Structure 1
Amino acid sequence: MSGFSELGLIPELLSTLDALNYQEATPVQAQAIPVILKGRDLIAGAQTGTGKTAGFTLPLLQKLSSGGKTRSNGVRALILAPTRELAEQILQAVQRYSSNLNLRSYAVYGGVSINPQMMAMRKGADILVATPGRLLDLYRSNALQFDQLEYLVLDEADRMLDLGFADELDVLFCALPRRRQTLLFSATFSERVKAMAGVILRDPARIEIAAPNSTADTLSQSLIAVDKKRKVELLQTLIRRHVEHDAAAQLLIFVKTRKSVDELESLLGEQGFNVGAIHGDKTQGNRMSAMQAFKKRETQILVATDVAARGLDVEELPLVINFELPINAEDYVHRIGRSGRKGKEGAAVSLVSADEVQQLAAIETLIGHLIERRDEPGFAPEHRLPETALGGQIIKKPKKPKKKTIPGSGQALVKPGEKPVRKLRFIDHLDDGKSSNPDRRRRKPKKK
């Protein structure tokens, strides 16, 4: 690891980093900062929690500090993010790192009134953090102009494509100046992202800190096979065990649907836990309030959909529980990446039912290894979770064959040398219409 003073950063930034107690650059920072300062386009892949935001923010701040003044409705550096939560998190980092610089930064995103954002943009912004949809709304309303734009950053581009921003991105790329420096940062790079990078980047430098879609070495992963109807019961058991081990320890629970978030929030709240919740139907104010309360350790448990998978940075989060596996395998990487960040130890446990085996196989193929399976006493599933193999294979064990019988005899077929076991039935006693049981003689049909 390198010290920040060796990366060519200006004294104002070094002073800020020293005040923040940033001693050494992470690998992605050490490699990305010099490349960006040289003006090259960049595509960088690194695990979550490795300092990607500082990796692109610090050199951009340095380059902007020596530039001109931003005009009204103008922007000089644009950072695109897939969610409001991530946009706010990036903005906070930008403002923290630029405390000794005379630069203006702002964030725009949907879910809130557009009018205050239009008013704020009249002053212009040196750095604007935005979600694609709201950015286009401002551009089409003439509240935003791109003629001063010099730098474009796409953070978590794969997620933007997953959320259906492909059309918005196409429109934006056409509206932005061609002469610009473009940077792509993400923990995962799908084939669609690679194709997009080939179109918008010019002779980019490439940085790959770890294998694509890999997870941190400080994070342990395991899964527990359980019937779907018993997931809530198992979740309660895991939470009680976690709290008994450390009464103040926090945990983050991921589910697929907003309904599941509300149900778990209500259930855990009734049991006396301090619970927060985040999903797409909650107002932006409620979502930000829940995120901040969790980051400040005012709440112990946070239940969330994938909107929190990329916009939550907690200094120490010992446990992430996947109550349900995500639909997109890439989201698993980002979910569990909330724990084990910045070299801290962490754990991720997934509760997996038999109907989620397809998602499990896709996740294991993406991360390049099988997730350790462990049994939980008292929760052995009635519906067995099939074994999986890399490449998306699902290994189904053959069912036990039923014993074949000789038709009409009730006698099971046996291997040569074995003594057959004869099962007596009423038909075996029949002899010319007479039976050894006088009450069950076969009657002759009546003559008509």
Structure 2
Amino acid sequence: MAPPRGSHKKPAKAHHDSTRVLKRKRGQEDLTSLIQRVEDLDLKSAVKNFSDLPLSEPTADGLSASHFKVMTDIQSRAINHALKGRDILGAAKTGSGKTLAFLVPILENLYRKQWTEHDGLGALILAPTRELAIQIFDVLRKVGRYHAFSAGLVIGGKSLREEQERLGRMNILVCTPGRILQHLDQTAMFETNNLQLLVMDEADRILDMGFQKSVDAIIDHLPVKRQTMLFSATQTKKVGDLARLSLQEPEYVAVHEAAASATPSTLQQHYVITPLPQKLDTLWSFIRSNLKSKTVVFLSSGKQVRFVYESLRHLQPGIPLMHLHGRQKQGGRLDITTKFSQSQHAVLFATDVAARGLDFPAVDWVIQMDCPEDADTYIHRVGRTARYERVGRAVLFLDPSEEKGMLQRLEQKKVPIERINIKANKQQSITHLLQNMCFKDPELKYLGQKAFISYVKSVYVQKDKDVFKIKELPLDNYASSLGLPGAPRIKFIKGDDTKERKNASWRMAHLSSDSEDSDANEPKKDKKDDKQVRTRYDRMFERRNQDVLAEHYSKLINDDGTMVAAPSGNGAGEDADEDADFLSVKRRFAAGDAGLDQVDSDSDDSEAGKIKKVALDGQDPLVIDSKRREKLLKSKKKLLKFKGKGTKLVYDDEGNAHEIYEMEDEDQFNARGDAKAQRERFLADETERTRRADIDDKELVREKKREKKEKRRERERALAEEEADSEDGGVQLPYIPFKDPMESASESEPEPVETSRPSKKARVYERDGDDERPSKSKKSQLPSQSNISSLQDLEALASGLLG
């Protein structure tokens, strides 16, 4: 009988292993081929489709599934350089697809380096706002859906602890500067030593003054050898900004620099001259005339956004209203952006938090109710419409004082804009309605006051004073247009007026007003009617009840109130009103005589006995002629300024003494070369020494931070091991030597003395026949301390004590 055949598991396993080896080998060959195709890529050739690029299979599948086929101008020019690992400065109009221009290179470069979870963070993407970071992360999830990388979104408004637990396993991070800096400083398991790519979207805003400190601190945590890419619609070209980021020969990709305008050609741009008190009426009239449109309205502050939203919401214009500003919670901001994106007809009131990068579908109008701070902000605001070659319209509301300066700024940035007028029959006024609402609703009135102050402050702090002229704005009428009974007090404007009045010469103004009155032959006004500024010195000299007179005043006035006559020998004439005794001196010496030197310190004269001289080392003797000078002798510190400067000697190697600063021999100096050349050489040497010292200091700081993180990581690891050991070993109760509280009390405390005061606690008695005595049965049943030997005895004791 033939032996039975064995099972077929072994050949199947061998077949499975061979398949795995072949698959790994095929993947390695594909990777080698991909790297070779990237190296052979011609940067000068024009590529129009994503399929023409040397992309990996997961990236190509992700682009195809997301319906990205044809590349835009910025994508076709920037991706080629980025795939080769070059630093990029990308500038293109809003809505031109800059997000894919850096997401595709990130995925490809990490894929070619076979980046895994154990390699740590590979790419860091910085965005100025949370909404833009969320939008970038959504695009990354769509395009990179077939990759094995782990990606995370790090923004404010979420639990820091949850982010810390997952942060160490992330390969790609999309974040805002403030939140990622917090993790770099506080999260022990977060390492950036292997970072390969740094991307900044809206780079000009991130490198602006608002994020300067945060960006500098983030750069200190990152390695110097990395690929850096900056993208924005208005790219920065400052040498200082680029030097801070350590860019290595960046490739400047500006696809629309030679274009006729800095904004899309499908965007119609207009401006309306609207006085400040009529802006809210014009906005209301526009909304009522465009109920079937999707509109974004930009204002300068969050308090204005909230007041305009609340006031117009009460008036019910017939279209959904939404508002977005930086002080809202993260969940609410996300819900509003999602809701507005999905709406067909709506109005969104927003600050500049929505001005950059956000892609709201099918926006018809962009209304700028408040003038933007500069032309770059205008370009970013109007970029919310006319995206991806669609049609859009934008309107800018300008006060007459802002027209000339703002139009010059827009012309310098190649922004074509035309003036339009408002139809008078379409204009509606809501001032009376707002006044009625503010009168009935104190909260709305409070919001209006805050909105007024925030608008005035936003104008006041602007740097471009050719555009923003706060003195020419009709603020009282503007307050009335908001429904307020009067303009709120503004401290900083009042402070400026006070400063101007203080610096002006009051006396000159007073004299000029008197001369004008005398020339006009007008009668003098009473003091009550005089509204000129009076100082405290004027009020002091008008006092009548001066009972206590100063010493010099007594010398000027006789007992009968007449002036003291001046002595005849003063040479001042009969009309002189100064007294020679006004400033009295104890002793007078003629000029040039040796009066003080001839005074004997040991003289018995009462007047001269008060004056003595103290000899100082190498200096003229110090004359002591007052009690203040006598006190001076007791302080060594104050005597130093009378002793002159000391000398300090240093010794060379041969033991010869020299002064600490000596003039060099002129011949030796000239022998080393020209003075200018020596100066330049000295500056170069000092610059190099300072640079090396700076590098050493930075390396030392990084080493300290690394050691600090290592110590924190060791503590967390030890804590985790202790928790694991406690969970594996089970719960072990330590032995605690319990004592019977009744026994301890009876041993330590003396017997209580009976008093007449009744006890507040009721005693529990146990009846044994007719006698009532305190129950000791429970006490006798409890185990004593010597009998406790197991966990059951402890439980019995505890249950007995608890009754």
Q: Which bracket does the TM-score occupy, shorter chain normalised?
A: 0.7 to 0.9
Q: Specify which of 51, 55, 58 is matched with residue 104 of structure 2.
A: 58
Alignment partner, residue 67 of structure 2: 21
Instruction: Measure the CA separation in 2 of the matches of 1:359 and 1:90.
Output: 36
Q: Aligned-pair distance for 1:69?
A: 1.4
Asked if 1:264 is matched to 2:295, the reply is no
Instruction: Measure the CA separation in 2 of the matches of 1:190 and 1:48.
Output: 15
What are the superposed Cα offsets for residues 408-440 of structure 1, whole Å, 9 maximum, x if unpaired? Answer: xxxxxxxxxxxxxxxxxxxxxxxxxxxxxxxxx
- Compared CA separation, residues 366 and 175, structure 1 to 2 (3 A): farther
Alignment partner, residue 499 of structure 2: none
2:165 alignment partner AA: M
Alignment partner, residue 299 of structure 2: 255
User: Is residue 326–residue 359 contact of structure 1 (8 Å, CA) maintained in 2?
Assistant: no
- Compared CA separation, residues 358 and 148, structure 1 to 2 (3 A): farther
Asked if 1:332 is matched to 2:378, the reply is yes
Counterpart of 1:75 in 2: which secondary structure? coil
Q: Aligned-pair distance for 1:361?
A: 3.9
Alignment partner, residue 296 of structure 1: 342
Instruction: Measure the CA separation in 1 of the matches of 2:203 and 2:178.
Output: 14
1:240 alignment partner AA: R
Counterpart of 2:174 in 1: which secondary structure? strand
Alignment partner, residue 423 of structure 2: 377
Instruction: Measure the CA separation in 2 of the matches of 1:359 and 1:285.
Output: 39
Instruction: Measure the CA separation in 2 of the matches of 1:110 and 1:130.
Output: 9
Alignment partner, residue 187 of structure 2: 142
Instruction: Measure the CA separation in 2 of the matches of 1:203 and 1:310.
Output: 27
Instruction: Measure the CA separation in 2 of the matches of 1:48 and 1:8.
Output: 27
1:264 alignment partner AA: V
Instruction: Measure the CA separation in 2 of the matches of 1:131 and 1:358.
Output: 37
User: Is residue 254–residue 321 contact of structure 1 (8 Å, CA) maintained in 2?
Assistant: yes
User: Is residue 312–residue 338 contact of structure 1 (8 Å, CA) maintained in 2?
Assistant: yes
- Compared CA separation, residues 62 and 150, structure 1 to 2 (3 A): same
User: Is residue 340–residue 348 contact of structure 2 (8 Å, CA) maintained in 1?
Assistant: yes
User: Is residue 405–residue 466 contact of structure 2 (8 Å, CA) maintained in 1?
Assistant: no
CA RMSD in angstroms comes to: 2.4
Instruction: Measure the CA separation in 2 of the matches of 1:48 and 1:369.
Output: 13
- Compared CA separation, residues 359 and 82, structure 1 to 2 (3 A): farther
Alignment partner, residue 238 of structure 1: 286
User: Is residue 78–residue 129 contact of structure 1 (8 Å, CA) maintained in 2?
Assistant: yes
Instruction: Measure the CA separation in 2 of the matches of 1:148 and 1:17.
Output: 27
User: Is residue 146–residue 176 contact of structure 1 (8 Å, CA) maintained in 2?
Assistant: yes
User: Is residue 203–residue 236 contact of structure 2 (8 Å, CA) maintained in 1?
Assistant: no
Instruction: Measure the CA separation in 1 of the matches of 2:354 and 2:263.
Output: 17
Alignment partner, residue 121 of structure 1: 167
Asked if 1:69 is matched to 2:112, the reply is no
User: Is residue 271–residue 419 contact of structure 2 (8 Å, CA) maintained in 1?
Assistant: yes
Alignment partner, residue 400 of structure 2: 354
User: Is residue 225–residue 352 contact of structure 1 (8 Å, CA) maintained in 2?
Assistant: yes
2:355 alignment partner AA: A
What are the superposed Cα offsets for residues 81-115 of structure 1, whole Å, 9 maximum, x if unpaired? Answer: 11111111111111111011111111112243322
Q: Specify which of 231, 242, 253 is matched with residue 197 of structure 1.
A: 242
User: Is residue 291–residue 312 contact of structure 1 (8 Å, CA) maintained in 2?
Assistant: no
Instruction: Measure the CA separation in 2 of the matches of 1:202 and 1:102.
Output: 30
Asked if 1:96 is matched to 2:142, the reply is yes
| TM-score, normalised via structure 1 length | 0.79
2:152 alignment partner AA: Y
What are the superposed Cα offsets for residues 108-166 of structure 1, whole Å, 9 maximum, x if unpaired? Answer: 122433222212213x2111011111111101113421012110001112112336111
What are the superposed Cα offsets for residues 360-416 of structure 1, whole Å, 9 maximum, x if unpaired? Answer: 24641452245211111227xxxxxxxxxxx9988xxxxxxxxxxxxxxxxxxxxxx
User: Is residue 184–residue 221 contact of structure 2 (8 Å, CA) maintained in 1?
Assistant: no
Alignment partner, residue 351 of structure 2: 305
> May I ask how many residue pairs the two structures share in their alignment?
378
Q: Specify which of 150, 155, 169 is matched with residue 109 of structure 1.
A: 155
Alignment map for 1:315-326 (pairs within 5 Å): 315-326=361-372
User: Is residue 70–residue 76 contact of structure 1 (8 Å, CA) maintained in 2?
Assistant: no
Q: Aligned-pair distance for 1:349?
A: 0.6
Percent identity between the two aligned chains: 33
Instruction: Measure the CA separation in 1 of the matches of 2:63 and 2:149.
Output: 17
Counterpart of 2:207 in 1: which secondary structure? helix
Alignment partner, residue 420 of structure 1: none
2:271 alignment partner AA: L
1:218 alignment partner AA: T
Unaligned runs of 5+ in 1: 380-390, 395-448
- Compared CA separation, residues 158 and 366, structure 1 to 2 (3 A): farther
Alignment partner, residue 431 of structure 1: none
Alignment partner, residue 537 of structure 2: none
1:115 alignment partner AA: R
1:147 alignment partner AA: N
Instruction: Measure the CA separation in 2 of the matches of 1:298 and 1:106.
Output: 31
User: Is residue 325–residue 359 contact of structure 1 (8 Å, CA) maintained in 2?
Assistant: no
| TM-score, normalised via structure 2 length | 0.45
Q: Which structure has more strand as a fraction of its residues?
A: 1
Q: Aligned-pair distance for 1:308?
A: 0.6
Instruction: Measure the CA separation in 2 of the matches of 1:36 and 1:108.
Output: 24
Asked if 1:364 is matched to 2:392, the reply is no
Counterpart of 1:354 in 2: which secondary structure? coil
2:269 alignment partner AA: Q
Counterpart of 2:326 in 1: which secondary structure? coil
Instruction: Measure the CA separation in 2 of the matches of 1:260 and 1:228.
Output: 14
Counterpart of 2:393 in 1: which secondary structure? strand
Q: Specify which of 275, 282, 299 is matched with residue 328 of structure 2.
A: 282
Alignment partner, residue 438 of structure 1: none
Q: Aligned-pair distance for 1:14?
A: 2.1
User: Is residue 320–residue 338 contact of structure 1 (8 Å, CA) maintained in 2?
Assistant: yes
Counterpart of 1:341 in 2: which secondary structure? coil
Q: Aligned-pair distance for 1:190?
A: 3.7
Alignment partner, residue 409 of structure 1: none
Q: Which has the larger radius of gyration?
A: 2
Alignment map for 1:168-187 (pairs within 5 Å): 168-187=214-233
1:260 alignment partner AA: Q
Q: Aligned-pair distance for 1:239?
A: 1.7
Alignment partner, residue 178 of structure 2: 133
Instruction: Measure the CA separation in 2 of the matches of 1:327 and 1:39.
Output: 36
Q: Aligned-pair distance for 1:221?
A: 0.6
Instruction: Measure the CA separation in 2 of the matches of 1:162 and 1:241.
Output: 38
Unaligned runs of 5+ in 2: 1-46, 428-463, 468-803
- Compared CA separation, residues 371 and 392, structure 1 to 2 (3 A): farther
Counterpart of 1:185 in 2: which secondary structure? strand
Instruction: Measure the CA separation in 1 of the matches of 2:335 and 2:133.
Output: 15
- Compared CA separation, residues 218 and 182, structure 1 to 2 (3 A): same
Instruction: Measure the CA separation in 1 of the matches of 2:353 and 2:386.
Output: 19
Q: Aligned-pair distance for 1:309?
A: 0.7
Counterpart of 1:100 in 2: which secondary structure? coil
Runs of 4+ in structure 1 displaced over 3 angstroms? 355-359, 391-394
Q: Specify which of 249, 268, 289 is matched with residue 220 of structure 1.
A: 268
Greater relative contact order: 1 or 2 (C-alpha under 8 angstroms, separation 6 or more)? 1
User: Is residue 293–residue 299 contact of structure 1 (8 Å, CA) maintained in 2?
Assistant: no
